[in-house]
Structure 1
Amino acid sequence: MKEQMVLSDWPSGYGRQVLAEVDSTMAEAGRQATSLAGPTWICALHQTAARGRRGRIWVNPVGNFAATLVLPTSDGPEKRALRSFVAALALFDALVAVSGRVDGLTLKWPNDVLLTGGKVAGILLESIGAHLAIGIGVNLIVAPASSDVEERAVLPVSVLSALGVEVAPEAFLEVLAATYARHEAQFVTYGFAPIREAWLARAARLGEVVTARMGDREVTGTFETVDADGRIVLNTATGRQAIAAADIFF
């Protein structure tokens, strides 16, 4: 079943779908992308085959948030990848809006949001021809068990367990759509520079030692900054290294 609504504070130009059940919102984005008239949020109240980065399973109990923004864009791969920072800032602001709290919220490179040190949300980007699919999952009610998390990864938390705040997925979608539209407009108008600056102001473990894993290779160094291309820059024993894609461990 698909529900479509027009809300008075919904951002202009963005479509909205809420599905009772789907295999994954990313898969649904792939099926619908070419038929959508403009940027559209696809939200699912239940996913049967949710997935995260690199094909990993994303545990998504009922009550948590799962949505994909299908965004038409002519941008190349490098610029498309910067939308993870746009989405991270939008998530940060949305979580502040629904909880009234900013303490304990940080952004983990490249695409996670942390709350009181635990992972509360993740972002997944995939190109679909002339569209970019931005998948977002948020542990609103329930955090996955630690056994569902890979070794050394940040343990998950939920908004409810960490802050005592309960929010419905549809209500969170309305807030997130508004915060995303604001940061997207800034990105389109002014480029990555102000997005980068705002992201760094909220970055987790900036100035601290972290480890970047790229396949079977690891690099450890001080997290110095994120460069103009969105790469994490580590100051290592052999010099500064700018890394475009990796899993980061603390």
Structure 2
Amino acid sequence: MAETASTNADMKARALSGAGEELWLRAERQSGGVGRLGRKWESPEGNLYCSTLVVCRNADPAPASLSFVAALAVHKAISAHLPHDDICLKWPNDILVSGMKTCGILLERSGDAVVVGIGVNIAVAPQVEGRTVTSLHQEGVDPQVDAGLFLETLAPLFADMLNEWRQSGLAAILAAWQDYAHPAGTRLVTTDEKGRRIEGEYAGLFDDGALRLRMADGTLIAIHAGDVQVG
């Protein structure tokens, strides 16, 4: 479609109407795109704005862990087109290229389904307060790779990772995610639920996907939600 308020909102409506998996919606522009924590998601033409649907099954891992599935799929899609290897996953669901944000992922529940929204800076790197951002074209991806072509790469990779999540379980997904994350010992900064600053070193993930942060005294703490900055 040319323009919509939000592909996630459109997909949530389809989910409530009984839509199944493997459906993708893509818009050239969004007038009301939303990122994590309710932030506005800038949606200039030329980038990828898309959503898909996962229908929850009783035996599935925790639905929130689909953020790792999506991040892995995007990482693989970018790697298929980008001629360098400085592509890194940052908890909980960022993909950094040359150390700069290039993707946003937002999960939203709709009845028995989870809507997975994905935005990737293909041609344009919009200004985002407090973030350094880049686009795939700026990083060296062939200018002929547009949002539609990138989605053709992404969709089957997402299906593969979704199947891995269901067949092999969350542990396999988390192990794969950590293979592409920043190195152990990377300095990270976040805040707790009271807004207090927390600094530590990346020490992998806990079994449920929580961030494992090593404090200065060597103790390990779990971060379950929040923004994380490399620093």
Q: Common fold, TM-score beyond 0.5?
A: yes
After superposition, give the CA deviation of every residue in 1:204-229 in whole Å (9 maximum; x if it has no partner).
Answer: 25321211223412211111011110
Q: 1:32 Cα shift?
A: 1.4
Map residues 9-28 of structure 1 onto 2, 5 A cutoff: 19-28=1-10
Task: Return the alpha-carbon distance in structure 1 between the equivalents of residues 134 and 11 of structure 2.
Answer: 27
Map residues 152-191 of structure 1 onto 2, 5 A cutoff: 153=131, 155-166=132-143, 167-191=145-169
Q: 1:27 Cα shift?
A: 1.1
With the length of structure 2 as denominator, give the TM-score of the two structures: 0.92
Map residues 47-86 of structure 1 onto 2, 5 A cutoff: 47-74=30-57, 79-86=62-69
After superposition, give the CA deviation of every residue in 1:5-57 in whole Å (9 maximum; x if it has no partner).
Answer: xxxxxxxxxxxxxx221101111112211224411211111111111001101
Task: Return the alpha-carbon distance in structure 2 between the equivalents of residues 242 and 58 of structure 1.
Answer: 28
Task: Return the alpha-carbon distance in structure 2 between the equivalents of residues 164 and 191 of structure 1.
Answer: 33
CA contact (8 A) 1:78 1:229 kept: no
Q: Are 1:193 and 2:171 matched, yes or no?
A: yes
Matched to 2:122, the amino acid is L
Q: Which residue of structure 1 lines up, in the alignment, with residue 198 of structure 2?
A: 219
Q: Which residue of structure 2 lines up, in the alignment, with residue 3 of structure 1?
A: none
Greater CA deviation, 115-124 or 67-76? Answer: 67-76
Map residues 223-234 of structure 1 onto 2, 5 A cutoff: 223-234=202-213
Q: Are 1:244 and 2:224 matched, yes or no?
A: yes
Task: Return the alpha-carbon distance in structure 2 between the equivalents of residues 65 and 36 of structure 1.
Answer: 25
Structure 1 residues 92 and 192, CA gap change in structure 2 (3 angstroms): same
Task: Return the alpha-carbon distance in structure 2 between the equivalents of residues 220 and 176 of structure 1.
Answer: 34
Task: Return the alpha-carbon distance in structure 2 between the equivalents of residues 241 and 184 of structure 1.
Answer: 29
Q: Which residue of structure 2 lines up, in the alignment, with residue 6 of structure 1?
A: none
Q: Are 1:98 and 2:77 matched, yes or no?
A: no
Give the 3-state SS of the residue equivalent to 2:200 in structure 1.
strand
Aligned structure 1 segments of 4 or more residues deviating by more than 6 angstroms: none
CA contact (8 A) 1:93 1:179 kept: yes
Task: Return the alpha-carbon distance in structure 2 between the equivalents of residues 217 and 52 of structure 1.
Answer: 23
Q: Are 1:143 and 2:125 matched, yes or no?
A: yes
With the length of structure 1 as denominator, give the TM-score of the two structures: 0.85
CA contact (8 A) 2:188 2:201 kept: yes
Q: Give the gaps of 5 or more residues in structure 1.
A: 1-18
CA contact (8 A) 2:61 2:165 kept: no
Q: Are 1:208 and 2:208 matched, yes or no?
A: no
Structure 1 residues 159 and 198, CA gap change in structure 2 (3 angstroms): same
Q: Are 1:235 and 2:218 matched, yes or no?
A: no
Q: Calculate the aligned-residue CA RMSD, in Å.
A: 1.8
Task: Return the alpha-carbon distance in structure 1 between the equivalents of residues 60 and 199 of structure 2.
Answer: 27
Matched to 1:232, the amino acid is L
Identity of aligned residues (%): 35
